[in-house]
A and B are shown apart, each in its own frame.
Chain A
Amino acid sequence: MLSYEDAQLIAGLREGVESSYEMLISRFQQPVYNLAYRLLNDSGDACDVTQEVFLKVFRNVKQFQGKSSLRTWVYRIAVNESHNRRRWLFRHRHKEVGLQEDFVDESEPRDRSLADGARSPYDRAFDREKQVLLEEALSRINPSFREAVVLRDVEDLSYDEIAEILQISMGTVKSRILRGREALRLQLTARISPELQLRECL
């Protein structure tokens, strides 16, 4: 189950070899952050969760038995941590008072999408619009559907891997993905053409 590189990496982590730690971080920092961001829709929370995930990986690498691949294990921790974070936020967020309600981070769009010289500014604006819509829709659907859809359609994992990460059966994975996509589509259509929806209702 465990590839040779993964086994080497894990042995290095257990021994406290610096290069192994660096390799783990360089391999998983971006995916874990990405996943956490997609699940939580907040950069700060995603950073905190990523840090928690790595701490857990470092601390628990001794107990890791290699029954699943390293990636699946790390993703599982990331999904669980995001889940915990979301629950925590649900309980605590409403008590917080935003200091910068109207603050718009101007640097964000430039940071987040890499410039593509071949595309016109119009195309890029359009892409950006689409992306924002998708992200919004993603953040609105049921978290358990979102986990499945993000893992399948954004992170491009196989059904097997998703079943292992979420610790659910294959059938449940399929149904969650299906229902998640459906919910996402509904969200998007509701966003894009509210008047259309209205007309259908009438």
Chain B
Amino acid sequence: MSCRAIQHHLSSFLEGDLSETQSSEVNQHMATCGTCAAKMTEARHSRTRFLSALHALPALPAPRELATRLQVLASHEIERVQGRREFSSATRRWWMRAQISMRDLMRPLALPAAGGVLSSVACFSMLASSLTFPQQFANDIPLGFTTQVQVDQLSPFGYTGHDVVMELTIDKNGKVADYAARGSVTRDDMKQLGNLILFTSFAPATAFGQPTSGKILLRSHRINVRG
């Protein structure tokens, strides 16, 4: 190993970071080369001085306010930890106490309460047969029903034409929406029928209480009044 190589490996050698063969080579060189040996001694000394100086770096006393801050932090944490623990144990204690007081309350009450319930059931079953309830359905809308169109008021004008059957469609407002006549109808008859329809008022059909459109059949007869 040359002096240059030794220089290169000096610090690694001192740190004990060379392989065994390399360090033995360095040692061999040291035995023969005075300059390198001197340099090595110097380097070793400086390394020791340097490391001891690093070691001797004084411990820096932490500022007093840091201790206070840490104490405050610790007390907060203790409170937090204990608080959490206490919360769970307090809930458990509260639950047990509630169970005990519930049992204490229910034990003396159990017999009277059961007696009360039984007697009320007995009373009710005896009286149930004789109970009647007054019913008032006068103003009730017949819900489940449909009603047909009805003639509210017939026209005051008579009809003197032929017999005829009319099919009228009445809308939900009670107005005639359409009409159709069956049988032999003359023009004059038709006119009379028109008047008849016009002056007759209808009650619309209802479904579940709501007015809706519907159909009605009207049969007209000639009415002869003798006299």
Contacts and interface: CB of A to CB of B under 8 A. Distances in A.
Nearest to B64: A111
Which of B12, B17, B66, B73 has most chain A Cβ within 10 Å? B66
Chain B interface extent, by class: 20 to 34
B57 interface: yes
A30 B191 CA distance: 120
A153 to B, nearest CB: 4
A188 B15 CA distance: 18
A126 to B, nearest CB: 11
B24 interface: no
Nearest to A174: B17
Contacts of B106: none
Contacts of B217: none
Given A16-B85, A29-B67, A134-B53, A178 B61 contact: no
A114 B58 contact: yes
A18 B78 contact: yes
B38 interface: no
A33 B60 contact: yes
Given A55-B73, A58-B73, A188 B58 contact: no
Contacts of A22: 74
Contacts of A55: 73, 77
Interface in A101-115: 111-114
A82 interface: no
Nearest to A43: B63
A43 B80 CA distance: 29
A33 B58 contact: no
A134 B54 contact: yes
A51 B62 contact: no
Contacts of B57: 38, 131, 134-135, 154
Chain A interface extent, by class: 35 or more
B60 A21 contact: no
Interface string A177-202: 11001101100100000000000000
Given A29-B67, A154-B54, A54 B62 contact: no
Contact of A47 (B53, B69, B82): B69
A181 B15 contact: yes
Given A29-B70, A149-B54, A15 B81 contact: yes
Given A15-B81, A18-B78, A153-B55, A51 B69 contact: yes
A34 B77 contact: no
Given A153-B51, A153-B55, A54 B73 contact: yes
Nearest to B50: A185
Contacts of A38: 57
B74 A30 contact: no
Nearest to A128: B58
A15 B78 CA distance: 8
A114 B60 CA distance: 10
9 contacts: A33-B60, A38-B57, A43-B63, A54-B73, A54-B74, A112-B58, A112-B60, A112-B61, A154-B54
Interface of A: 14-18, 21-22, 24-25, 29-30, 33-34, 37-38, 43, 47, 50-51, 54-55, 58-59, 111-114, 127, 130-131, 134-135, 149, 153-154, 156, 174-175, 177-178, 181-182, 184-185, 188
Given A17-B78, A154-B55, A177-B15, 17 more contacts: A15-B81, A18-B74, A21-B77, A29-B67, A33-B60, A33-B66, A47-B65, A51-B66, A51-B69, A54-B70, A55-B73, A59-B77, A156-B55, A178-B15, A178-B17, A185-B50, A188-B50
